[in-house]
Amino acid sequence: MKTALIFGITGQDGAYLAKLLLEEGYSVVGTSRDLATTKLHNLERLHIASEVVCKEVQPADFRSVFNVFRIVRPDLVFNLSGQTSVGLSFDQPVESVESIATATLNILESIRMDGQGVRFVNAGSSECFGERDTPASESSAFRPRSPYAVAKSAAFWHVSSYRLAYGLHASTAIMSNHESPLRGERFVSQKIIAAAKNCKNDSSFRVRMGDLSVVRHWGWAPDYVRALLLMAKASEADDYIVAAEKATSLVDFAEYVFNYYGLSCHEFMQIDQKLFRPLELRQTLLSTKKIKEKLQWEPTIDFGDMLEKLINGKLY
C-alpha cells in the first residue's frame, strides 16, 4: 500500500483530499501543528477520522518536517497547510510568510535530502496574479497585492526551482477560491450564508460586509482536490491553474444566496469601510485551458449548483 502525507489535513482541502486518497487505496498520514488542541471535525464529518494517522509537525521548522519524512516514508506529499486568509495576512505578515513560504521550502528540502521518488503538490493561489481583466495563464506574471499572495508567490518559485535544479516531481496548483460546507465560519462564503439564514428568521438582523464588488472564480472544493491528485499522478510535474469556468462577483454570490430565501441582500447588508483590506484585489480572471487539455480535468458542477450545496450543507 502506498502512503500519502498531507500537511494541513484538518482543513477543508485536507479532509476532502484525505477521503479521496483513502478511496484510491492509499494509506493517509496527516499533520497538525498542535494535536492537543486541533479539532478533527472536518475529518469526522467525512467519517474518516479513524482511518487516517495524524502526527504533530511544525512546518516552519525544518527538523520537524524532516523527521516526519523519515518516519512516514511517503510516496505522495501534499502541502495544504499555512495561513489561508488574505485579510488576516495583513495583520500577521510574518506568520504568513513562515507558514507558507518557509514551510514549503522545508518540505522541498526534506524531499531532496531523503525522499527520492516522492511526488509533491503544493497548494498555490490565484491571488499571486494580482489584478487581471484578461484571463491569466500559468505563464502570466505574478503581481501579488497582499502578504498572503507574496508568500504564495515565493512558495511557487521554491517549487519551480527545486523541480528544475534537482529533477523533483514537484508541482503547484494555482487555485482560485473554492468552497464547501467544511469552510471555516470566518470566510466570506460562510458569513453570507449564515447572514441570509439569520435574516430569514429575524427581519431586523443586519450584517456588515466589506467590498462586494470583488470578482473571483468560485469553485467546488471536492473538484479542486481531484485536480491535486491528477497532478500528483501525472507523468511529468508541472504547474496548473485550477479554477471554476466562470468568474462571479461577490455581490452576485450574495444575491443568489439571499434570493434563495426570498430576500434581497441589499436590504440586509451594510457596507463597512473598516472591513475593506488595505490593498484590495478587485478582479482576477483565469484560464484553465492547460489543465483541461493536459490532465482532462473539468469542474463537475456550476456556480448555482455549488451555492445550493453550500446553503443546504451538502458535502458532495
pLDDT digits (tens, 9 = 90+) for 198-223: 999 999 999 999 999 999 999 999 99
- pLDDT computed for residue 243 by the predictor: 98
Mean pLDDT, the chain, as a whole number? 95
Q: What is the pLDDT of residues 168-189, one digit of tens each?
A: 999 999 999 999 999 988 899 9
- pLDDT computed for residue 41 by the predictor: 95
Domain boundaries, the chain: 3-179+218-246+285-301
Choose, from 16, 81, 99, 148, the residue flagged as catalytic.
Answer: 148
* Domain boundaries 3-179+218-246+285-301, corresponding CATH code: 3.40.50.720
Do 229 and 160 form a contact (C-beta atoms < 8 A)? no
- Give yes or no: 126 in active site: no
Q: H or E element: which one contains 31?
A: strand 27-32
* Grid-cell match 449564515, residue found: 194
Q: Which among 283, 212, 276, 282 is positioned nearest to 250, based on CA atoms? A: 212
Q: What is the pLDDT of residues 219-252, one digit of tens each?
A: 999 999 999 999 999 999 999 999 999 999 999 9
- Give yes or no: 51 in active site: no
CA angle 289, 124, 144 (to 5 degrees): 95
Choose, from 99, 110, 125, 171, the residue flagged as catalytic.
Answer: 125
Neighbours of 281 (CB within 10 A): 22
- Give yes or no: 148 in active site: yes
Choose, from 127, 146, 176, 240, the residue flagged as catalytic.
Answer: 127
| pTM for this predicted structure | 0.95
- pLDDT computed for residue 35 by the predictor: 82
CA angle 32, 277, 148 (to 5 degrees): 35
Helix (H, G, I), strand (E, B) or coil at 146: coil
Determine the Cα–Cα distance for residues 202 and 190; give it in Å rounded to an integer: 18
Q: What is the pLDDT of residues 61-101, one digit of tens each?
A: 999 999 999 999 999 999 999 988 888 888 899 999 999 99
The predicted model gives 124-133 an average pLDDT of 96
pLDDT band at residue 257 under the 50/70/90 scheme: very high
